[in-house]
Structure 1
Amino acid sequence: MSHSSAADHALAEPCPVRNAYEHKVSADGLIADAIQRKAADRLDRLVNDLAEARPATKSSALGWLFGKRREKKNVRGLYLHGGVGRGKTMLMDMFFDHAPLKRKRRSHFNDFMADVHDRIGAHREALKNGEAKRDDPIPPVAEQIAEESWLICFDEFTVTDIADAMVLSRLFSALFDNGCVLVATSNVAPSDLYGDGLNRPLFTPFIDVLKAHTDVMELDSGRDYRLDKLSALPVYMNPLSEETAQRMDEAWQTAIDGENEAAVAVEVKGRTIDVSRAAGPMARFTFEELCARPLGARDYMALADRFDHFFIDGVPQMDLDRRNEAKRFILLVDTLYDRKKSLHLSAAASAEELYVGKSGTESFEFDRTISRLIEMRDESWPPQAGDAVEY
């Protein structure tokens, strides 16, 4: 009696990622791109490497997928990097859907590391209670994760937190020793991760570990297809009305382009900012969520590091009674402008009429905000690499 497995299926369809890509070109109007096709072919090789990496057990062709005994595997992962809108998330989705494994995990890097720190904390608590024996929590945590997920996929890999940076080299050395395979997408090359981070020399060994276990491939700075789509969307919508709300909803749905919307948490210096609506590099907020809460420059920078496209609903007219919200809105716009992020918002009035206070520093600081909001509405925003920005 023959057995059928996910691995058998993958090998029967030798180019599942490339086929999914070509279907999107023919059926969904995706503009074909030679570099994306090359990446799809490399991901297909990885699909087949994973399918062939471990022979079936005597009892079942699926035994190697579900058995508890793990052998080290010599499968190189892949690190895809390139600018915003180069199709990295799309390719990751196609690959993950066709990866012939049950034990696989796809998550945002920050969510994965939050789980790691929780496991480290739980191990230390168990050690204190006499329920664990090993003093070093990294090896048992890596074993737990490897037992759950042979394949680990990160979309938008970025390192901003020193607590993450300090454990990455040892953690991933242990994960790779346990046979894990890593596939990641990022806006930056491995050598640029944690570029200006505190105590970076303690982080840099991770870069060598990463390069030793993954192939690095650049999706070059060609055409930004996501920006092509976003540039056609309304940017500044006023006044606030049911029609404006509908236009914002339509713009948001067009921007996320079928990606799953979910709540995420962005970590900032040991605390978290809850983002109720996120999809890939897109995030949607209400004005109250961003400007009525006690957020500061570091918070807005962390959000700008995590997301590239911001949708903000319900910006009200502000006066002296809302000067704190006005200060935060000024700071938020400054941050998004400096980081060259795209902004879509609905507001009670035109940019020139958003702040109606007649005294205080906000009244003249808001002039800069007006100028930036107007510039960010232009179809050429955000500027591409090498373009000058007027300050």
Structure 2
Amino acid sequence: MSGVLARYRQLVEVGELKPDAEQAAIAERLERLQQELEATPKRGSILWRALKGKPEAPKGVYMWGGVGRGKSMLMDLFHETLAISRKRRAHFHAFMQEVHARLREARKSETGDPIPPVAGQLAADVRCLAFDEMVVNNSADAMIMSRLFRALIVDEGVVVVTTSNRPPHDLYKDGLNREHFLPFIDLIETRLDVLPLNGPTDYRMDRLGDLGTWHTPLGDAATAQVREAFFRLTDYKPEDADHVPNSELDVGGGRLLHVPKSLKGVAVFSFSRLCREARGAPDYLAIARAYHTVIVVGIPVMGPQERNEAARFVTLIDALYEYRVKLFATAAAEPDALYQAGDGSFEFERTASRLMEMRSPEYMALGHGEAESSG
């Protein structure tokens, strides 16, 4: 099997990828890591036993950068071409859900600290653990990650390769009890090579092509369009939509918001979940910080009796706009016809104008969180 660098160069040569110096440099680094991993003595061999089952682990890789820069593509090539059997590719949210389930089971049977035995279980069949989209959205994950990953990387010798939209020092930024999370950042910066991937080309935009963002009227055709957008952004097949991972988002005050579909920085919500339930600006700002793209389905035409829903929708759009989140939607009407009479309908005109701007190529080309960093 050819390695990641050969596969990457082949894709460039046949025109499936555009030449990109930063991508090529990371492919070279991942190639070196593959060589180190493949040279490691096989588990149970004479050399493995001579090293007491704990050969020195090579440094992992932490790729970070804006949306659409090729991080997931490089991760896929790395994992596909890594010629060892003890490897695992996992979505970070799903992995952490598994960890919490294992910890709950361990606490039932273990009297001591459950993290070392759980780390041992996870490492039993894994030499290299590859994550896509490392992001920390809740305090439950943040509180255990330092000890869990120290046990995996330092004690068990697992090599971690991961992608993220953020540099390590921005993970769980402003989170509750973040001081307990800081040792994890130190661990990442010490035991993984942190490599930025922030070239000028947003390949996600190429993949979206001429696919629209606002789909009306409500119905199967509109739903099919946002499913296609989700697929182009995440590589998750539309026909398998029922199995997209979900997650829990920490929205502050000890509250968690269930995100029904969450993958690679893309979240899917119903209008009812976001705007018919009692929610406020902190909820919407947490969503805007956590996701570069949000898909909202089932936006209705609202009348005077739905002034609360309309007000929440205004606050939601303000938060998404502030953080330059990309919005895809299925709606009963065009933005200017969603709320034409009732308290706040005049103010809603500004929201309709923003929704129109958010459909423009200029807005779609903006980086996630750009307004926050420039303000």
Determine if the alignment matches structure 1 residue 75 to structure 2 residue 53. Answer: no
Alignment of 1:258-337 (within 5 A): 262-268=244-250, 269=254, 271-276=256-261, 278-337=262-321
Which residue number corresponds to residue 39 of structure 1?
Answer: 26
Would the aligned equivalents of 1:72 and 1:178 in 2 still touch at CA under 8 Å?
no
Once residues 197 and 125 of structure 1 are traced to their aligned partners in structure 2, the CA distance between those partners, rounded to angstroms, is 29
Is the partner of 2:124 in helix, strand or coil? Answer: helix
Please, what is the CA RMSD of the aligned residues?
3.1
Which residue number corresponds to residue 172 of structure 2?
Answer: 194
Higher mean alpha-carbon deviation, 297-306 vs 193-202, is at 297-306
Once residues 236 and 11 of structure 2 are traced to their aligned partners in structure 1, the CA distance between those partners, rounded to angstroms, is 13
1:221-280 alpha-carbon deviations (Å, 9 max, x no partner): 42222134447431223344665455445544444456675132233346451424x542
What TM-score results when the alignment is normalised by the length of structure 2? 0.84
Aligned pair partner of 1:379 in 345, 361, 372: 361
Report the Cα offset of residue 385 of structure 1: 7.9
Alignment of 1:128-147 (within 5 A): 132-133=110-111, 135-147=112-124
Once residues 89 and 193 of structure 1 are traced to their aligned partners in structure 2, the CA distance between those partners, rounded to angstroms, is 18
Would the aligned equivalents of 1:266 and 1:302 in 2 still touch at CA under 8 Å?
no
Percent identity of paired positions between Structure 1 and Structure 2: 39
Q: Kindly provide the amino acid, as one letter, of the partner of residue 356 in structure 2.
A: I
Determine if the alignment matches structure 1 residue 53 to structure 2 residue 30. Answer: no
Determine if the alignment matches structure 1 residue 29 to structure 2 residue 55. Answer: no
Would the aligned equivalents of 2:102 and 2:118 in 1 still touch at CA under 8 Å?
yes
Q: Kindly provide the amino acid, as one letter, of the partner of residue 167 in structure 1.
A: I
Which residue number corresponds to residue 89 of structure 2?
Answer: 106
Would the aligned equivalents of 2:302 and 2:339 in 1 still touch at CA under 8 Å?
yes
Once residues 260 and 340 of structure 2 are traced to their aligned partners in structure 1, the CA distance between those partners, rounded to angstroms, is 29
Alignment of 1:221-236 (within 5 A): 221-230=199-208, 232-236=210-214
Aligned length: 362
Distance 1:23 1:258, change over 3 A: farther
Distance 1:328 1:202, change over 3 A: same
Would the aligned equivalents of 1:266 and 1:303 in 2 still touch at CA under 8 Å?
no
Would the aligned equivalents of 2:137 and 2:249 in 1 still touch at CA under 8 Å?
no
Structure with max Cα Rg: 1
Q: Kindly provide the amino acid, as one letter, of the partner of residue 138 in structure 2.
A: D
Unaligned runs of 5+ in 2: none
Is the partner of 1:215 in helix, strand or coil? Answer: strand
Is the partner of 2:294 in helix, strand or coil? Answer: strand
Q: Kindly provide the amino acid, as one letter, of the partner of residue 19 in structure 2.
A: A
Once residues 381 and 194 of structure 1 are traced to their aligned partners in structure 2, the CA distance between those partners, rounded to angstroms, is 26
Which residue number corresponds to residue 330 of structure 2?
Answer: 346
Which residue number corresponds to residue 129 of structure 1?
Answer: none
Is the partner of 2:144 in helix, strand or coil? Answer: helix
Once residues 246 and 166 of structure 1 are traced to their aligned partners in structure 2, the CA distance between those partners, rounded to angstroms, is 39
Once residues 194 and 241 of structure 1 are traced to their aligned partners in structure 2, the CA distance between those partners, rounded to angstroms, is 38
Once residues 294 and 23 of structure 1 are traced to their aligned partners in structure 2, the CA distance between those partners, rounded to angstroms, is 52
Would the aligned equivalents of 1:285 and 1:313 in 2 still touch at CA under 8 Å?
yes
Once residues 162 and 281 of structure 1 are traced to their aligned partners in structure 2, the CA distance between those partners, rounded to angstroms, is 18
Higher mean alpha-carbon deviation, 43-52 vs 107-116, is at 107-116
What TM-score results when the alignment is normalised by the length of structure 1? 0.81
Once residues 326 and 275 of structure 2 are traced to their aligned partners in structure 1, the CA distance between those partners, rounded to angstroms, is 18
Would the aligned equivalents of 2:64 and 2:165 in 1 still touch at CA under 8 Å?
yes
Aligned pair partner of 1:156 in 133, 150, 155: 133
1:319-339 alpha-carbon deviations (Å, 9 max, x no partner): 123333323322221221111
Q: Kindly provide the amino acid, as one letter, of the partner of residue 357 in structure 2.
A: E
